[in-house]
Structure formats: structure tokens, C-alpha cells
Amino acid sequence: MMAKLKPEDLSRIAEKMRRQTLLREGAGRAKVTVHMGTCGISAGARKIMTTLLGLIDQQQVQDVILTTSGCAGLCSREPMMTVEIKDKAPVKYVDLDEKKTLTIFTDHVLGGEIVTDFALGMGSERVS
């Protein structure tokens, strides 16, 4: 059972999470997010996830954080994933399949080179 939070605990958790997910302080070198809303899953996002899990396992990659999130908005270009390399702007990839995923994993996630043919764009959305 977790301890019940007090208001001040929220910032403590937020701080801890920021350290872990922002790829600083050695938490990882790259973060790969597969967009898995209903739209992504129906377009095949689970296969992309399985492919990535297989690659990470097979090549015993230790410093890549693999995670999921919801729909990224552009349903017609699913499956989508976002690759973020430490200290670089995140890159969104669209219309994925297993073969493209393998290329992106090898070239970008491990090699650091953006696969321009499959990338939609880089950076983040405007949040108000």
C-alpha cells in the first residue's frame, strides 16, 4: 500500500519523474514512444511494439526507454512513434510497419541518424 499523498508530495513525484523521463542524469540515452490509442492499435501499433521489444531484447540494449502513450492526433498516419535522443528534439515517425521500425531502430535509436524518409517532423506541439 502506497502512502497517501500530501499536497507537497506532488512536486516531489514530479521532480523524480522529470529526472527519469527527460533522459538526463543517466536514465537512458533514447526514449521511444509508441502511440497506442484505439486508432493506433487498429492500424497495427501492437506489431510495432512487439518488434521494438524483440529488438531491444535480441540486441540486449540497456539504455533505451520504451514506452507507450495515447493518440498523437494524426489518425490517418498511424501507426506512429516518437523517437527522442538525449539532448535532441523528438522526431515523429508515421505510417509505420515492421520493416520501417527495424530501420528506424538501427539508424536512429542506435545510430543517431534521423530516417528522413519515414519521419513526419521534429519538435513538440504547442501546448498552452
Residue type, 35: H
| 31: β partners | 65, 84
Complex with another protein: residue 59 or 124, whichever CB lies closer: 124
Contacts of 127 by beta carbon, 8 Å cutoff, 6+ apart:
none
Distance (Å, rounded) from C-alpha 53 to C-alpha 47?
A: 10
- Near another protein by CB under 8 A: residue from 63, 70, 111, 113: 70
Stretch that binds another protein, among 44-52, 55-63, 84-92, 98-106 (CB under 8 A): 84-92
C-beta neighbour count of 81 within 10 angstroms: 30
Spell out, one character per residue from 16 to 55, where the chain touches another protein: x when CB under 8 A holds, - when not.
Answer: xxx--x-----------x-x-xxx-x--------------
Could you say whether residue 103 binds another protein (CB under 8 A)?
no
Backbone angles phi, psi at 59, to 5 degrees: -95, 5
The smaller minimum CB distance to another protein, of residues 59 and 121, is found at 121
CA distance 55 to 69: 20
Q: Which residues bind another protein (CB under 8 A)?
A: 1-2, 4-7, 10, 13-14, 16-18, 21, 33, 35, 37-39, 41, 67-77, 82, 89, 91-92, 114, 116, 119-128
